[in-house]
Amino acid sequence: MTTPRVLIIGASGTVGSKVVKEFDKNGEGIVLRLATSRREIAEKWQTEGREAVVLDLNEPTTFASALAGVDRVFLLTGYTADMLIQSKQLVDAAVDAGISHIVHLGVFTSRRDIIPHFIWHDLIETYIEASKIAWTHLHPNVITDTVFANITETGSFTVNWRDMPQGWVFAADIAAVAATVLREGPEKHGGANYWLSTEVLTGPEVANILTEASGKEIKCITLDPASLEAYVAQISTVPERAYMESAVITMKLAAAGQMTAQTVVRDDVLTVLGRPGTTMTEWARQNLN
């Protein structure tokens, strides 16, 4: 039996880099191939002895060589409306390459959300399923790391949905689930949707938990979604602006208490890993002390 080769798209990003770390800890029985759109990063990885390729989702000519000899793919896209054409063309190339399993990182969709980028992910997942390649979809709620980007330096974080609740999950848990699914393969995880929402909390509640657990004052800056609109209007590239306009819609719905399908706990970290997802308290004790 040949050793499965796994391609990690976005291997230098917030989630992708943590998927790589998971395989570094436990990659037995897997050949790992890292993909990035930046040639200098691929060359750096190669000098470190890693198998690395250039795969630019905006350049379909890079797909065939990156996918050659690959069995399983971790597919995630950037914050751009181009995710539709990128994913469609990548899936087509995966079919041509004989890929056996696609693990797609999507959103915490209800399949009926009136949010453009949620709908785009729904369509991408439908297309993956129609490709006849075995699939697994990961549905993370708010990725805490993106909100906490500067928390250790500033002692604060910002939410753009006032003081309304949201579902949260840490990128490390998403990555651990993704790596396990990719390692164990489609025989165990094919056709599965995994929902990743560990806790439902308001921004101020999060700040209180972090403060108590760490012994350091952590502040939550609660903003109205309108505060983001001026910034979004200045984005010059149309696909990126379209995505961020969709993000503003999400925040407006959240601020109005209309994200009821997303303000739930569904912890498939436990389903896949046999342990619950990381809580705010646990994270604070590990990272803020």
Span 199-224, pLDDT tens digits: 999 999 999 999 999 999 999 999 99
Average pLDDT over residues 249-264: 97
Q: Which has the closest alpha carbon to 103: 70, 148, 66? A: 70
Question: Is CATH 3.60.20.10 correct for 5-141+170-196+264-277?
Answer: no
So what's the pLDDT on residue 49? 96
Q: Is 16 helix (H, G, I), strand (E, B) or coil?
A: helix
Q: Where are the chain's structural domains?
A: 5-141+170-196+264-277
Provide the pLDDT confidence category of residue 1 given band limits of 50, 70 and 90. Answer: low
In the structure, what pLDDT confidence band is assigned to residue 2 with cuts at 50, 70 and 90?
confident
* Cβ-contact 162, 224 below 8 angstroms: yes
pLDDT at 120 over 70: yes
Provide the CA 189 distance to its chain's centre, in angstroms. Answer: 18
Distance CA 21, CA 19 (A): 5
**pLDDT > 70: percent of the chain:** 100
Average pLDDT over residues 155-162: 96
pLDDT at 81 over 90: yes
